[in-house]
Amino acid sequence: MNITTFAKRLCLLVPLLLSPAAFAAEMMPSPPQLAAKAYVLMDASSGNVLVENNGDQRLPPASLTKLMTAYIATLEIRRGQIGENDPVTVSENAWRTGGSRMFIKVGSQVTVSDLLHGIIIQSGNDASVALAEHIAGSEDAFADLMNKTVADLGMTNTHFMNPTGLPNPEHYSSAHDMAVLARAIIHEDPAHYAIYSQKEFFWNGIKQPNRNLLLWRDKTVDGLKTGHTDEAGYCMVSSAVRDGMRLIAVVFGTNSEVARAAETQKLLTYGFRFFETQTFYQKGAELAQAPVWKGTTNQVKAGLAQDLTMTLPKGQLKKLAASMTMNPQLIAPIAKGDVIGKVEVKLDDKVVHSADLIALDAVDEGGILRRMWDSIRLFFYGLFN
């Protein structure tokens, strides 16, 4: 595909992320105002934030913390560091942990898988501590691991002191950061994400329900986690899929279990009603070829480093236009992944988003005759251009 053909197709498809703020307010109603301290609505595919209020405010996350505890555990499983069926001996420290409980017994052995279910479904503080100690040796060491993972995910307003979410002045997160974490959980490990949709878990003769009321009220909701302390209020991170579009809703600081479900439902309803998401190209797909000087080949394939996914108000796609430009005089050697151009998307005359085009393959430096010949050509090219 040549550059001109690609540009024509791009004008029709516009496969790039776009902020809804770029669109005029009259195109859609204002988002709902929620009875919550902070909230965020994010598209799970693009990562676009569609609605937010105090999204970066640092607040106590209560048991939403356990999303990170479970995320690290599943990472360790996938890396082969621990196994689903590994026995975990319950310490007295884990057994004595207050708050919501799985009701594991001190000195007993519980599998990693059962503890993971106890954390996600029953919100067990005892299970969280037991699994944290199994992975890192102690709660403090596990908290260090949590904060390293926070940095890896780019959660800039989060710091954890424990695996449970029990109150601590230095333990905080934000609605936006929790949406980022939820997105990682959903995309990176679909098999374990399925646990978040389970409505109840039976352990030690006790059956406890999942506290996410939306699992019973909305069949499109399939996760994630609730939290509550007196300090934090009632919090929730939820996700739902309708017509192939997945949204993540986060609310902090509502005043009741019923309120956090109702306020979350308002966000999801608004998002699905007024936005749409589409992925047009996969990362690594060849979008064009650019000329290369002094190389073993005279062209290099161009594409993008990330999937080309866009979330925008419904009906706005046709109003966008895009163009692509390549860097002038690409000279070998070119490494795979080097930036060699750019795509810009415009609404009217305003650039609303841009993305780098990268080299999909490496181009080595050509032989001496090729380099000499291209040097001569470039000399004359420079004279006339």
Can 66 be counted among the known catalytic residues? yes
Do the Cβ atoms of 239 and 273 come closer than 8 Å? no
Q: How far apart are CA 324 and CA 354, in angstroms?
A: 10
Alpha carbons within 13 angstroms on the beta-carbon side of residue 357 total 25
Do the Cβ atoms of 286 and 358 come closer than 8 Å? no
Structure tokens at 90: 């319950």
- What string of DSSP letters covers 17-51? ---GGGS-GGGSPPPPPPSSSEEEEEETTT--EEE
Can 63 be counted among the known catalytic residues? yes
Identified catalytic residue from 37, 66, 225, 266 = 66
Identified catalytic residue from 45, 46, 63, 100 = 63
Q: How far apart are CA 13 and CA 9, in angstroms?
A: 6
Element (H or E) spanning 87, and its range? Answer: strand 87-89
Inter-axis angle of helices 139-153 and 66-78, to 10 degrees? 90
Residue in this structure with the two tokens 């926070």, named with its chain if needed: 150
The b/e string for 273-285 (b: 16+ C-beta within 10 A; e otherwise) is ebbbbbebbeeee
Structure tokens at 220: 């499109």
Q: How far apart are CA 282 and CA 194, in angstroms?
A: 25
H/E/C letters for each residue in 156-190?
Answer: CCCECCCCCCCCCCCCEECHHHHHHHHHHHHHHCH
Structure tokens at 317: 């796609």
Identified catalytic residue from 46, 100, 123, 239 = 123
Can 123 be counted among the known catalytic residues? yes
Q: How far apart are CA 69 and CA 141, in angstroms?
A: 12
Nearest Cα to Cα of residue 359 among 288, 264, 262 = 288
The residues carrying an active-site annotation are: 63, 66, 123
